[in-house]
Amino acid sequence: EPEVTQTPSHQVTQMGQEVILRCVPISNHLYFYWYRQILGQKVEFLVSFYNNEISEKSEIFDDQFSVERPDGSNFTLKIRSTKLEDSAMYFCASSEALPETTNEKLFFGSGTQLSVL
């Protein structure tokens, strides 16, 4: 079964440093997402991306966050200046669904555990 791949699986960084989390979505998918989950809390939506632009973002996704699809396969999340509270598991997801449909099925990666010290 095709899967979403995320690298690295763990990332440790110092507060104030920039990090880039990488994802390879399923190849024929059109929608891409980033979610995060702080330990013990629920999965939170960050951003969705379609047709090379952000289609929706949450209030969490402030100016320190950015996303990019630099080539035909990778989808990245950049955090410009990390804070302690950015420590979380970050999940990338992709889906085939187009905006007009409602029956989205998201495929999630295994996540990148980000620890900000």
Partner 1 sequence: LAKTTQPISMDSYEGQEVNITCSHNNIATNDYITWYQQFPSQGPRFIIQGYKTKVTNEVASLFIPADRKSSTLSLPRVSLSDTAVYYCLVGDPLGGGYNKLIFGAGTRLAVHP
Residues that bind partner 1 (CB under 8 A): 4, 31, 33, 35, 42-45, 48, 50, 55-56, 89, 91, 93, 97, 99-111, 113
Beta carbon nearer to partner 1, 50 or 65: 50
Residues constituting the chain:
117
State the nearest-atom distance from the C-beta of 111 to partner 1, in Å: 5
User: Minimum CB separation from partner 1 for residue 43, in Å?
Assistant: 4
- Of 2 and 16, nearer to partner 1 (C-beta) is 2
Measured from the CB atom, the residue of 15 and 43 that comes closer to partner 1 is: 43
Angle of CA points 83, 86, 88, to nearest 5°? 150
Strands 75-79 and 19-24: antiparallel
Output the smallest distance, CB 1 to partner 1, in A: 11
Q: In the numeric block, which tokens belong to residue 15?
A: 């507060």
Q: What is the DSSP letter of 60?
A: T
Tell me how far, at minimum, the Cβ of 2 lies from partner 1, in Å. 13
Pick between residue 4 and residue 79 the one whose CB is nearest to partner 1: 4
What token pair was written down for 3?
């899967």
Torsion, CA 94, CA 97, CA 102, CA 105, rounded to 10:
-40
Read off the tokens for 36.
Answer: 């995060």
